[in-house]
Each structure stands twice: as C-alpha cells, then as structure tokens.
Structure 1
Amino acid sequence: MSKQRPVTVLQATAVLVSTIIGVGVLPLPLFAVQAANAGGPLVTLLAVLFACVGVLLIALLGMRFPKQSIVQYGESLIGAWPARVGSLLVIAFFALLTSLTAREFGEVVVTSVLKNTPVEVTVIVMLLLSALSTRNSVTTFVYIHFFYSPLLIVPVLIIIALSLKNADMLNLEPIWGNEPPRMLNGIVTIAALLQGSFVLTLVIPAMKRPAKAWIAGIWGIMIAGGLYVIIVIAVVGVFGAQETKLLLWPTLELAKATSLPANVLERLDAAFLAVWVTAVFTTLFSSYYLTTQAMTQILRLRDERIFSFFLLPIIYVMAMIPENIVKMYEAVVKMGSVGLFVTMGYPGLLLLISLIRRKKGEPADAGDVRS
C-alpha cells in the first residue's frame, strides 16, 4: 500500500519544536548559571547556535537522500557494517535518552505533585503511554506533534511574560558572565538538550518537499531555542544568578512566583506542570519512536510495532539505574555531551563522505509516494 508524502514544512517544524521542548526546561536555567552566572542567557544563545549546526548537517543529508533515513543512506555511503555500527550507536543513545527522560519526569512528579507515589509507577505509566503511541505511522506521529506544539508554546510564553514584571535587569549584568572558562562546558550541556532535533532524519523522507528540510530545521531549532533563551532570561532576571544556583528546577519556581493579574491565580505552577507533562510526552514519544524505527530499518523489518513493547522493560530498567536524583542529573549531563558525537559527529561524517564521493540518492518529485 502506498501513501502520499504529506508532511509540510510547517508540520516538520512543529515536530522539532515539540520534541526539543521537554523535560529539560526545568533544570535549564540552573545549567546556564552554573556555566556563566549572569551570562546564562548568552551561554544559552550560543548553545542554540551550536545546535543549529547539527540540524543543518541532518537537513543537508536529508536533502541529498530525500527518500531514505540516516540508517538507509548510511549503508550506501560507508558500507553495511560500519553504517550498522553507527546506527546501533544512535539506537543505544536514544534508548538511554528515553530512559533518562522518563526517570527525570518521574522524579519531578513525585517531588512536586504525587508525593506518596513511588517513582517507579510514574515512570512506567509514561513509558507505557509512549510505547502505545509508537504503534502508529510517521504521518500520525507528525500529526500528534503538530496538534500539541501550540499547546506547549503559548502557555509558556504567557507565564514568562507575566513573570517579567518581577524581573530586575541588573540581575542580567554582565551579559557575558564572569566565569568565561566554564562557558564552553555550559554550551555543550545546553546544546545537548536540543539534540532531539535528530528526529528530523525520520521526518524528511515523509516530506512533500524534502529540499526545504533546512527551512524546517532552522525554524524548529530557533523557535525552541528562542524559548529556551527567554526562559533563562526570565529566571535569572527574577531570581538572580546566585539564587538560581540554589534551585533544583528554577523554571518551576518561576511559575510558582508568577500570578495572573488581580490575583485570579496566585501561582501558575499547576498550569505550568500540566503543559510540562505534555512536553515530556512529546519528547519521549519522539525518542522512543526514533529508536523503534531505527531498529526496524537496521533489521530490514516491515512492522516497527514489534519493538514497541519489546524495548519497554529494557528502557524501564535503564531508567531506574541511577540511585537518586543527583546521580540521575550526572548521567543526563554526561550522556548529553557524549550524545553530541552521535547526533552531530556521525551525520557530519556521512555528509563529508557524500560530498567527497559526490553521491546522492534518488530525487523526490511532486508525485513521489511512500510505502
């Protein structure tokens, strides 16, 4: 059975935005101020620009091989076995990313909302929801993201706008920070929060016009990255760098300190958490879906649904390995930094080889169909 390639640039952008905006928005300002104190917004901006490079690498590869994913065109560029090693690294990384995201979600929920609920319960519930959702086509995957993306962006922007009335711009000076030697580590750590953009490798083969993939990539990373920069500005402006360092989830504390005009709602943390849960789901959905799709393609199978529940116990066990929340965040930072070599280094190598060998895939015309 064949289907038209239905994904537009706008929909592809929405997939990137809803994938990137996830569990990482809570500790984001903490990572930024640990790197450069008041220079946190600048560090975040530089991280976004750095992440743009990775998105462009993926988009350029997708434009050269519009009918294939990275698993498929990797084999034609560097050979079957080397490409399978690269694909296995991608699978392993995103499986670990899925597990750490689920664990972080569980820790936040049991700490802030369901204090008498075991963390294991919240983790398994979110993983089950993600596993069920992966049993859909790429088109459905895109539509789910497209539906949720406005629900993620608009409420967060409203909360940030309301919080800025409590901000003191002196807290944002000096804008370049006062610990430049640590800025590089901060840039890498924050850029790692944006590497969910790798999901573009799955979306490009389903696009109507793969030649415009770079537009979706840049818009997606700039919208999500711009939101990250604004969040850091708001948090540092309200609390100051030193106070932010004492907060485990500064963005959640910002929502607690924000109220609607006329005190209609004195705290917005409940509304923010509702939006955040949705953001975590879309991020988990993407990383889980990317893992199952990559495994399906590397094993030459036709039905990816076989892996939906096969991976569930493996990911759950990995999620519960960190002993506590401190160990969990240490693992998040380390895995994020290592993951950049997978999500940027591997596509960069493939693009370089494709340029040297002057190799391209079959062009995608307007009447192209996808099985």
Structure 2
Amino acid sequence: MNRPRRITLLQATAVLISTVIGVGVLALPRFTAQSMDTGAPLLTLLGLGVGFLGLILLTLLGMRFPQQTILEYSEAILGKFLGRLGTLILVLFFALLTALIAREFGQVVVASVLRKTPLEVTVLVMLLLAAIPSRNGIDVFAYIHQFYLPFILAPALVIVALSLKNADPLFLQPILGNQPAGMFPGMLTVAALFQGSFVHTLIIPSMRRPQKAWVAALWGLGISGALYVVIAMATLSVFGPELTKQFFWPTLELAKATSLPGAVLERLDAPFLILWVMAVFTTLLSSYYVTAYGMSRLFNLQDHRLFSWFILPFVFVLAMLPGNIHVLYDSIQWVGRAGLVPTILYPLLLLLVAALRGKRGASGGQQTTGQSS
C-alpha cells in the first residue's frame, strides 16, 4: 500500500506524547502509592521501562515493514487467518480501552464540575468529539495532536513545578518503598498507561523518513514518561503515601493545593482540569482512531470513515457497563494488565516469527526530495 509520506518527526513525537499523557494522570499516584508506598516514583519508572519495551518492538517492526502497519504485516508474517485473528483481538482491546477512557473522563467531570449533568451525556459528548475528527486521514490526525501538545505539556509542567514548594523529601523515603510485594502488579498497572503508544504503528508508514521512527519513539515516550514520574514524585512528596492512597484523583488534589506566586490564583484545579480535558481528548482520539482503522483492515477496506460512526454505539454501551467508580477502576486495572498481551507480547511474537521466516517489507522512500523531517 502506497501512502503519502507527510508526517514529520515533530508530528510523530507529538502524537506519542499527547496520546500517552491522558486520563491516567489523575489516578496514577494513587495506584503507585497503593502498590509500593514511598516507592511510587521508582514504580512509575519501572512501568515506563515496560512501556518502552512495547514501543521498541513496534518500532523495530515498523522499520522492518516501513510501508505497512501491524494490522497489515501481521498477515504477511503469520498468515491470513492468524493475522486477522490478531487484528480482531487488537480491535476489541482498543474498543474496550476507548470505552474505559471515556467513562473515566465522564466520572471525573460529573464528580468535580458538572454535578447535575447525567453521566451518559458527558461520556457520549466526549465520544462524539473523538468520532468526528477520527474520520480524517492520518495527516490531519497528526496535525490535531501537534496543535494540542503545547496546551497539554507546558501547563502541566508549570503546575507540577509550583507544587514542589510544598514538598517534603521525607515522604519519598525509603526510595524502594515499604511494600516490595506490590512491585510486579503495580509495574504492570503503570505500564498499561503507555499502551497508547501503540498508535506509533499507524504513524510510521506515513512518516517522511521512517528510519527516524526511533527518534520519535525515544523523545515521545521519554518526555511523557518523565512527566508521569515527576507527577508521582510531586504528589507523594506533598501529601505523603497514606494520604495519597485516600484520594481518588491525587493529581487533582495536588492542583487544588497549588497556587500562583502573588496569590494571583489560589487554586490551580480549574486550569488543570482544562488542560486535562485536552489530554483526554487526544488520548481518546488515538484509541478511537486505532479501533476504527483496525475495523477497516479487518474487513479489508481502504477507508475507515464508515467505522468511525459504526463503532460509536458499541463503545458507548461498553463505557456504561461498570456499575460504579470502584468497579470502573477495578476494570481499568484488569483490562490494562491484560492489554499488555496484545500490545507487547503479540509484537514480540511477530518480530520473532518475521526474523525466523526472513520476512521483510519493501523499503519506503521519501515523498519529495529535500523535504525536512
């Protein structure tokens, strides 16, 4: 399949950053504190390492098949039946992931801002906001992520930096934590936050220089992962592990406890929620796009626009299945850990089989001579 190579290195990096930084920002400190107590920053770093492993596998495969996505070269590697089965599993997983992202967004908004708004309305509006732009091509998809990135990244860094004036380094000791038994399951939970980087497989075939996919992967996950580590560290150092465990959304509480110098704003939770909504939108857009695109490849169609509307009611029903917030977060942890199989182990299987069978795609050239990346 010949694709126009319009996506620059900056856009590819922006897609990864704005996809990974999303709804999980709010609950990350609670999950890590429950798993490893004062070792939450270390646990976040370990989870980042697992997330990097998955992205490395996808990048290796993408550079081996520079003109195809994983949904296409999987059939060339495993055969038509097994390749389609793998695509089906990926589509189902990202449909469920999209539903959980939308539901968590609705839960936060209804609980903290729009208290009288029905949860169903909030979830449906966000899904519609993702469905409409997902009908565009991959170049427009990349432009959207590039546009929103500064509004997501810069304010988040400012808020975290300002919160450190209230930090107590004693809350971060011992660095290894007091609950070593929770390291492995907690690491898998944190690694699930980086599953959105799977969208990189859709980006590589449209990059002007696919050989620079490595650079985009390193910068993209490096920046977003560093932000997660800093958020875990800042929240824990301000509230301590025990209080962090009691908050549903510790990062939101951190914004409430942070003020601008000179008492310009005594609480930063309102601006933080604005940038968080943008972050959720870009994350939801990526998972929704992967689902719609995967459906089109499953039925061997070139255009995914039809499925942007087709999957909407199914994702909405899935989003409303958890009965309450406790069931929701149990589902998020379970689905996130189970999702490491299709997002990490499946690419590992494809890479090993491709190497053993000597499978390799045609090399992709640049679209136009002299174009910068």
TM-score scaled by structure 2?
0.97
Secondary structure, in 3 states, of the residue corresponding to 2:353?
Answer: helix
Q: Distance in 2 between matches of 1:197 and 1:165?
A: 32
Return the offset for 1:4.
3.5
Q: Distance in 1 between matches of 2:262 and 2:336?
A: 42
Q: Distance in 1 between matches of 2:51 and 2:214?
A: 13
Return the offset for 1:133.
1.1
Work out whether residues 29 and 251 of structure 2, in 8 Å CA contact, stay in contact via their aligned partners in 1: yes
5+ residue gaps, structure 2: none
Structure 1 residues 165-174 or 214-223, which shifts more?
214-223
Secondary structure, in 3 states, of the residue corresponding to 1:266?
Answer: coil
5+ residue gaps, structure 1: none
Structure 1 residues 286-295 or 2-11, which shifts more?
2-11
Deviation per CA, 1:3-28, whole angstroms, max 9, x where unpaired? 74011222111100000000000000
Deviation per CA, 1:237-261, whole angstroms, max 9, x where unpaired? 0000011011000000000000000
| Residue 92 (structure 2) aligns with | 92
| Residue 47 (structure 2) aligns with | 47
Work out whether residues 4 and 368 of structure 1, in 8 Å CA contact, stay in contact via their aligned partners in 2: no
Q: Distance in 2 between matches of 1:271 and 1:143?
A: 24
Q: Distance in 2 between matches of 1:3 and 1:65?
A: 13
| Residue 79 (structure 2) aligns with | 79
Return the offset for 1:81.
0.5
Return the offset for 1:127.
0.4
Runs of 4+ in structure 1 off by over 6 angstroms are none
Work out whether residues 110 and 116 of structure 2, in 8 Å CA contact, stay in contact via their aligned partners in 1: yes
| Residue 160 (structure 1) aligns with | 160
Secondary structure, in 3 states, of the residue corresponding to 1:245?
Answer: helix
Secondary structure, in 3 states, of the residue corresponding to 1:134?
Answer: helix
* 2:105 is the counterpart of 1:105: yes
Deviation per CA, 1:128-185, whole angstroms, max 9, x where unpaired? 1111111100000001001111111100000001000000000000011111111111
Work out whether residues 135 and 305 of structure 1, in 8 Å CA contact, stay in contact via their aligned partners in 2: yes
Q: Distance in 2 between matches of 1:210 and 1:357?
A: 23
Alignment of 1:63-78 (within 5 A): 63-78=63-78
| Residue 224 (structure 2) aligns with | 224
Q: Distance in 2 between matches of 1:96 and 1:239?
A: 33
Alignment of 1:185-200 (within 5 A): 185-200=185-200
Secondary structure, in 3 states, of the residue corresponding to 1:279?
Answer: helix
| Residue 178 (structure 1) aligns with | 178
| Residue 239 (structure 2) aligns with | 239
2:11 maps to amino acid? Q
Alignment of 1:199-218 (within 5 A): 199-218=199-218
Return the offset for 1:186.
0.7
Q: Distance in 2 between matches of 1:359 and 1:270?
A: 52
Work out whether residues 36 and 183 of structure 2, in 8 Å CA contact, stay in contact via their aligned partners in 1: yes
2:115 maps to amino acid? K
1:337 maps to amino acid? R
Secondary structure, in 3 states, of the residue corresponding to 2:110?
Answer: helix
**Once the two structures are aligned, what percentage of the paired residues are identical?**
55
Return the offset for 1:299.
1.0
Q: Distance in 2 between matches of 1:297 and 1:218?
A: 28
| Residue 265 (structure 2) aligns with | 265
Secondary structure, in 3 states, of the residue corresponding to 2:339?
Answer: helix
Work out whether residues 171 and 237 of structure 1, in 8 Å CA contact, stay in contact via their aligned partners in 2: yes
| Residue 350 (structure 1) aligns with | 350
| Residue 36 (structure 1) aligns with | 36
| Residue 255 (structure 2) aligns with | 255
Q: Distance in 1 between matches of 2:324 and 2:13?
A: 35
Q: Distance in 1 between matches of 2:326 and 2:291?
A: 26
1:76 maps to amino acid? A
2:366 maps to amino acid? A
Structure 1 residues 360-369 or 59-68, which shifts more?
360-369
Distance 1:295 1:368, change over 3 A: farther
2:109 maps to amino acid? V
TM-score scaled by structure 1?
0.98
Please give the root-mean-square deviation of Cα atoms over the aligned residues, in Å: 1.3
| Residue 57 (structure 2) aligns with | 57
Q: Distance in 2 between matches of 1:301 and 1:308?
A: 13
Work out whether residues 3 and 205 of structure 2, in 8 Å CA contact, stay in contact via their aligned partners in 1: no
Return the offset for 1:366.
2.2
| Residue 20 (structure 1) aligns with | 20
| Residue 127 (structure 1) aligns with | 127
Deviation per CA, 1:269-295, whole angstroms, max 9, x where unpaired? 000000000000000000000111111
Q: Size of the alignment, in residue pairs?
A: 369
Work out whether residues 39 and 176 of structure 1, in 8 Å CA contact, stay in contact via their aligned partners in 2: yes
Q: Distance in 1 between matches of 2:173 and 2:340?
A: 30
Return the offset for 1:367.
3.9
* 2:317 is the counterpart of 1:317: yes
Return the offset for 1:368.
7.6
Structure 1 residues 103-112 or 349-358, which shifts more?
349-358
Structure 1 residues 299-308 or 26-35, which shifts more?
299-308
Alignment of 1:140-151 (within 5 A): 140-151=140-151
